[in-house]
Structure 1
Amino acid sequence: MAKKVIEVKDLHVHFKTFSGTVQAVRGVNFELFEGETLAIVGESGSGKSVTSNALMKLIPQPPGIYAAGEILLNGTDLIPLTDKEMSKIRGNDISMIFQDPMTSLNPTMKVGKQITEVILQHKTISRSEAKIKAIELLNKVGIPFPEKRYSQYPHEFSGGMRQRVVIAIALAADPKLLIADEPTTALDVTIQAQILELMKEIQETSKTSIIFITHDLGVVANVADRVAVMYAGQIVEYGTVNDIFYNPKHPYTWGLLGSMPDLDNEAEERLYTIPGTPPDLIHPPKGDAFAARNEFALAIDYEMEPPMFKVSDTHYAKTWLLHEQSPNIEMPHIVRKRIDSFLAKEAMHHD
C-alpha cells in the first residue's frame, strides 16, 4: 500500500476585502499518495492556485484566513504551524515550482549559488558537496554543460532552461511533495512538452508526489494519475485520468474537455465553449454554483447544492445529473468527438 503524503480535509480559505469576504476555497477534500501526480484543473478564479498556496501556507494573513479544515502532511496539520515551523517544511518536505521562472530566480545571483543556498539551508553538508549536488541537479533537469552553467546568471538562460533551473531548486532538498503551479504556461509548446516529460521522469526516479495546477486538460493526460476539477472554489469532479477522459460526468468537465484546442481542427468545426463567467465568491450562488452557465441545469440546481455522487470507487462528481430521478442527459456529441480526436492523437504520439 502506497504511503499517504498529504491529505486535505474540508479546507476553506477566505479573503477579507473592502467589498466583502471572498470565499476562495470552499470545502476542498483530496489526498495524495507517494509517487502519484494529482492534477487540479479549472479556469482562472476557480481556486486552484489559492489551494496550492494554502498547502505551502503562503496565503498572507491578513487578508487571507484559513477559515476551516486541515492540511495533513504525513499526519501533521500544517494550519496551526508558525511561519518559523513552516520554513523548515517549505523546500524540505514541500517545494513549489511557480509559473514564471523570471520571478522565481534572483537576477543578481548566479544560478549555481541559488541552488547551493537551498541545499545548505536544508542539509548538513559542506559547501563543496553542495556544489557537486547542484551540478548533479542541473544535469538531472537536462541542462547541458552543467559545470559551466553553474556559474552563469539567469538572463544567460532561455525561458525553458530557466524553468529547468527553477525545477532544480525545487528538488534541491529532495522534497516528498512538489507543487507545480502552471509550470509550462509561459513556455512554447515544444519546451512545454520537454518540461512535462522531465517532471514525469523526476516522479518515476525519485518517487516524489506532484500536485500539478493547470487550466489545460490537454496537459493533464500526459502527467496525471488522478484529476480534481475545480469550479468556484470547490472540487466538482474527482477521478483517475481515465475516469475524467473516458467517462466525465460533470457538465463543467464536459466544457473544459470540449474546449481543448486542436491544431488540426477543420475550420468549420467550432470549439465548444462554456458561456458566461465564474460566479462572484463574495456572494456564492444558491444551489449549484455552475447552474447559471450550465445548458443542462435542472430546476433543483438553482435551489440546492448537489452532494458528491459516487460514480465508482475512484470517481466522484458533484452534479444533480447523477441523481436517480434526474433525466438521462448525455455528454454533447461535439465534446465526445473532441475527446476522441485528442485521445487518438495522444495514442499516436506515444507509439
Structure 2
Amino acid sequence: MSEKILTVKDLRISFETFQGEVQAIRGVDFSLQQGETLAIVGESGSGKTVTTRAIMRLLSNNALMKGGEVIYQGENLLDKSERQMQKIRGKKIAMIFQDPMTSLNPTMKIGHQIAEGMLKHLKMSKSEAYQRAEELLTLVGIPDAHTRMKQYPHQFSGGQRQRIVIAIALSCQPDILIADEPTTALDVTIQAQIIELMKKIQEETKTSIIFITHDLGVVANVADKVAVMYAGQIVEYGLVDEIFYNPQHPYTWGLLCSMPTVDTEGGLYTIKGTPPNLLDPPVGDAFALRSEYALKIDFVKEPPKFQVSKTHYARTWLLDDKAPKVRPPQAIVERQKLFVKGEVLDAERS
C-alpha cells in the first residue's frame, strides 16, 4: 500500500471583503497517497483553487485561516513561517498555473527559468542545472532543446509554454505537483498531449498530483480519486469509477449529465440556478435551492458524510435510511447499471 503524503483536515478559510466575510472554504478534508492523482472538480467559485493555494500558502492578504490542518511529512504547513515555506515551495510542492504566460518571465531566457529553482533549492552548479534543464525540456516534448534553451517565452506556442511550465515545476523533483486547470487555455488536441505527458511523467517519477479542473472528461483520463466541490465543501469523494459510475450526490449527477458525449443530441443538460453567496451561506445543504431532489431536511440541517464504500462518501440526506427513494436522471441510472454489473467501461477515457 502506498504511503500517505498529504492530509488536509477540516480546512476553513474566509476572505475579508468590503461587503463582509466570505466563507470560501468550509470544512474540507482529503488525503493524497504517493504516486496518486486526485482531481478536484466543481463550478467556478466552488473553492478548488483556494484549497490548493492554501496548501502552498499562497493566499492573498485578505485571507483568514479559520481552522484546520495541512499535514505534510508529519508537520502542519499552516504553522510554518514564510521563510520555511520558501524552502518547501518548488522543491517539495510545486504548482502549474492555468495561464503559462503569467508564470513565465518574458525578459528571461527559458533555460535560466528552468534552472533557477535547481540553483536555489538543489545547490547545483550552473552547468549541472543547465544540463538538467535541457533534459527536462526534452522530457516535456520540446524539440531541439539545446537551441530553444536560449529563447524567450514569446518565441513558443501556447502548448509549448505550458510544457515549459511543467518542466519548471518538475525541476526540483517535487513530492506533490498541483496543476490548476493546466489545459483550459489550450485546444483539444494540445490538451490531450499535455494530459498524456503528465501521466507519463507521473509513472516515471511517482509524483503525487492534485489536478484542479471543471472538465469531467479530463478527470476520467487522469484521476485515481475525485473530490467534487460545491460552495466551499467537498460534497462527494471517491475512486474515479465510483464517482463516474455510482455517483450519489445530486450535484455530481448534474455535472455528469452536463458532459457532452458521442450520443448527445440537442441541447446539453444544465444545472439550474447559481451557487449560493458565501457571505451568508445557506442553512442545511448548500445545493438544496438548485436541486429538484431536495428534501425538507436539506433546508434545515447540513448533511453529514454518508459512507457509500470504504473509499466513497457523499454529503446528501438522500443516503439517510429514512430518506425516500428517488430515481436519479436516466443517464445516471444507466451509469449505475454498469457499475452494479461490474461492467465499468472506458468510454470517457477514449
Q: TM-score, normalised by structure 1?
A: 0.95
What residue number does 2:307 align with? 310
1:25 matches 2:25:
yes
Partner of 1:124: 123
Q: In the TM superposition, what whole-angstrom CA distance separates every residue of 1:18-46 from its partner, at most 9, and x where no partner exists?
A: 11100000000000010000000000010
1:301 to 291, 298, 303: 298
Q: 1:257 touches 1:338 (CA, 8 Å); kept in 2?
A: no
Aligned residue in 2 for 1:211: 210
Structure 1 position 180, deviation (Å):
0.3
Provide the residue aligned with 1:169 in structure 2: 168
Structure 2 partner of 1:258: 257
* C-alpha distance after superposition, 1:252-293 (max 9, x if no partner): 0000111012366333xx312110000000100001000000
Matches within 5 A, 1:108-147: 108-147=107-146
Map of 1:47 onto structure 2 = 47
Equivalent residue number for residue 287 of structure 2: 290
Measured against aligned partners, the alpha-carbon deviations of 1:134-186 in whole angstroms (never above 9, x if no partner) come to: 00100111111111111111011000000000000000110000000000000
Three-state SS of the structure 2 residue aligned to 1:345 is: coil
Q: Which amino acid aligns with 2:38?
A: L
Instruction: Report the CA distance shift for 1:338/1:99 in structure 2 as closer, same or farther (over 3 A).
Output: farther
Question: Which residue in the other structure is 2:106 paired with?
Answer: 107
Q: Indicate the larger mover: 315-324 or 141-150.
A: 141-150
Number of the residue aligned with 1:320: 317
- SS of the residue corresponding to residue 84 of structure 2 reads helix
Secondary structure in structure 2 of the residue aligned to 1:230: strand
| Paired residue type of 2:89 | R
Q: Which residue of 1 is the match for residue 242 of structure 2?
A: 243
Does residue 230 of structure 1 match 2:229? yes
Q: Distance in 1 between matches of 2:199 and 2:209?
A: 9
Contact 2:217 2:348 in 1 (8 A): no
Give the aligned residue type for 2:313. Answer: Y
Partner of 2:189: 190
Letter in 2 for 1:279: P
- Give the match for residue 341 of structure 2: none
Which structure 2 residue ranges, 5 or more long, are not aligned?
339-343
Q: Is the 1:9–1:70 Cα contact (8 Å) retained in structure 2?
A: yes
Give the Cα–Cα distance (whole angstroms) in 1 for the partners of residues 159 and 28 of structure 2: 32
**Amino acid across the alignment from 1:332:** P
Letter in 2 for 1:328: K
Q: In the alignment, is the contact (CA less than 8 A) between 1:8 and 1:72 conserved in 2?
A: yes
Give the drift of 1:344.
5.6
- 2:246·2:335 contact (CA, 8 Å) conserved in 1? no
CA distance in 2, matches of 1:234, 1:346: 26
Q: Note the C-alpha offset of 1:75.
A: 1.0
Give, as a single letter, the amino acid of the residue that structure 1 aligns with 2:32.
L
Q: CA deviation at 1:68?
A: 0.1
Shift of the 246–345 alpha-carbon distance from structure 1 to 2, 3 Å rule, reads: closer
Please say if 1:10 is aligned against 2:26: no
Superposed CA RMSD: 1.5
Residue identity (%): 63
Query: TM-score, length-normalised on structure 2?
Result: 0.95
SS in 2 for 1:40: strand
Count of aligned residue pairs for this structure pair? 344
Alignment-derived partner of residue 345 in structure 1: 347
TM-superposed CA distance for 1:60, in Å, is 2.1
CA distance in 1, matches of 2:158, 2:263: 27
Deviations 1:206-241 (A, max 9, x none): 000000000111110000000000000000000000
Taking the aligned partners of 2:348 and 2:281, their CA distance within structure 1 comes to 38
Matched, 1:97 2:99: no
1:345 aligned partner, one-letter code: A
Whether 1:333 aligns to 2:347 is no
Letter in 2 for 1:38: L
What amino acid does structure 1 have at the position aligned with 2:87? K
**C-alpha displacement at 1:343, in angstroms?**
5.2
SS at match of 1:191: helix
